[in-house]
Structure 1
């Protein structure tokens, strides 16, 4: 009976319904194709921001002009990095430090160059842009995900600031770092995430 009801309520095309009217759909389509505006997620707060494209590109170009942070390259380094990574992975496999499956997963196949874009910090005066690097499909993308999973197996400390004083929290973190060191880790990465600080 359930399958019969579902069949009767599902359009013949197999597509599900939508609660967006034709007028709203047309408006969304027009916004998407309007080259004069750029639609971006805000840096925080799950908010969508609509910026003037000219202003957005101006801010991004000004950011990239900072020669203390960014360097102009004379040639595309993608192929060289790809060859170097293949050599390193091959060596790791030959030394039995990674297996064949891991090697095949990490070996770079794409030549996509990482892209940069900015997300507006709407909580700050002037809404400056935070640079975000999108490396999906790049030479080191699979390697980055692999390393991230390894690091992610580290230690998670949960504290309740409203119940535990700051000195007690610092002592707990120090004890945890010493415990990691005793387990033979010579290099540790510590990340502190403050959830709901206000």
Structure 2
């Protein structure tokens, strides 16, 4: 068995070597003999922001973990804790209620049930719930401070970056990089897309309510003709809808770092309709002649037709996702 002290010294040397390349993907932070956290992160800056320098570079040096590492909150959120416990108790009671029910395939399109099973069906389970609640409450009300997994300097750097209004921090379009963008450049790049009247049109008001009414009318007609079940009709009906949100992901692998437009339809009137349509057309996609499952599948297809490809041919690919609904 190797000496822990000797191993730690080797890790320190590895860290010192890695930190010479401050924003390289292989950076590590070492806090103890047994805790090694790979960052898996690259930090890039857009041309308008320039290079990381001064206080901003110092803050990034303190936060090289990457987006996959979560920091502990300085204090317990009692509201969220109570909600999490309530949902947990509901799940275990549901498991008990339907324990002896035969397995069945649920209807794929239905609204999630909010039914809460009655209490005191199984005394042992209720005792368990009471013990867990008591222990969690005692721990949450303990006078001891919550252990923070970030040093004080890094916690301060994180708070400082959150309050900055002159930068935008976004994930890159490709890879695991985190991009620091000048806010005005981000706005200018966004407006360059939205001002393209070939793809976007300026409207006088938000048409979300109008779209929701049109969708609801169509769904009601389909339901009246028995083309939709009651559960599917309720699932597809838009409620509390909002407009889709436009966003950009910077392409750091291209000159000038242009933005890739992303439209998030979460909460929009057509969100559930998209899920419904995708459910039925997904099995048909693999039956099309042009379907390619992944890179190995593409290579196998090339191997099958290699005798038909001229020796002077240059093979190139152009892959993109085109929205169809």
Fold match by TM threshold 0.5: yes
**Aligned match of 1:160 in 291, 296, 299?**
296
Taking a change above 3 Å as real, the CA distance of residues 148 and 165 of structure 1, as seen in their structure-2 partners, is closer
**Aligned match of 1:151 in 275, 281, 298?**
281
Partner residue of 1:126? 256
Q: CA deviation at 1:57?
A: 0.5
Q: CA deviation at 1:38?
A: 0.6
Distance 1:124 1:164 in 2: 30
Q: CA deviation at 1:161?
A: 6.1
Query: Could you say what secondary structure the match of 2:300 adopts?
Result: coil
Partner residue of 1:3? none
Distance 1:111 1:37 in 2: 30
After the TM superposition, which residues 39-50 of structure 1 pair with which residues of structure 2 at under 5 Å, given as runs?
A: 39-50=169-180
Partner residue of 1:4? none
Q: CA deviation at 1:160?
A: 2.7
Matched length: 165
Unaligned runs of 5+ in 2: 1-134, 287-291, 307-318, 321-325
After the TM superposition, which residues 27-176 of structure 1 pair with which residues of structure 2 at under 5 Å, given as runs?
A: 27-154=157-284, 155=286, 157=293, 160=296, 164=300, 166=302, 168=304
Q: CA deviation at 1:169?
A: 6.8
What's the TM-score, normalizing by structure 2?
0.45
Answer whether contact 1:159 1:169 (CA < 8 A) is retained: no
Distance 1:152 1:117 in 2: 26
Taking a change above 3 Å as real, the CA distance of residues 12 and 83 of structure 1, as seen in their structure-2 partners, is closer
Taking a change above 3 Å as real, the CA distance of residues 166 and 91 of structure 1, as seen in their structure-2 partners, is same
Matched, 1:25 2:161: no
Q: CA deviation at 1:145?
A: 2.4
Unaligned runs of 5+ in 1: 1-6, 171-191, 194-198
Q: CA deviation at 1:111?
A: 3.1
Q: Deviations over 1:90-148 (max 9, x none)?
A: 11111222101011111001231111010001111111000000121111122222223
Give the number of the structure with larger relative contact order, counting CA–CA contacts within 8 Å between residues 6 or more apart: 2
What's the TM-score, normalizing by structure 1?
0.71
Extract structure 1 runs of 4+ deviating beyond 2 A.
10-19, 145-165, 167-170
Query: Could you say what secondary structure the match of 1:164 adopts?
Result: helix
Query: Could you say what secondary structure the match of 2:242 adopts?
Result: coil
After superposition, the CA RMSD in angstroms is 3.1
After the TM superposition, which residues 174-189 of structure 1 pair with which residues of structure 2 at under 5 Å, given as runs?
A: none
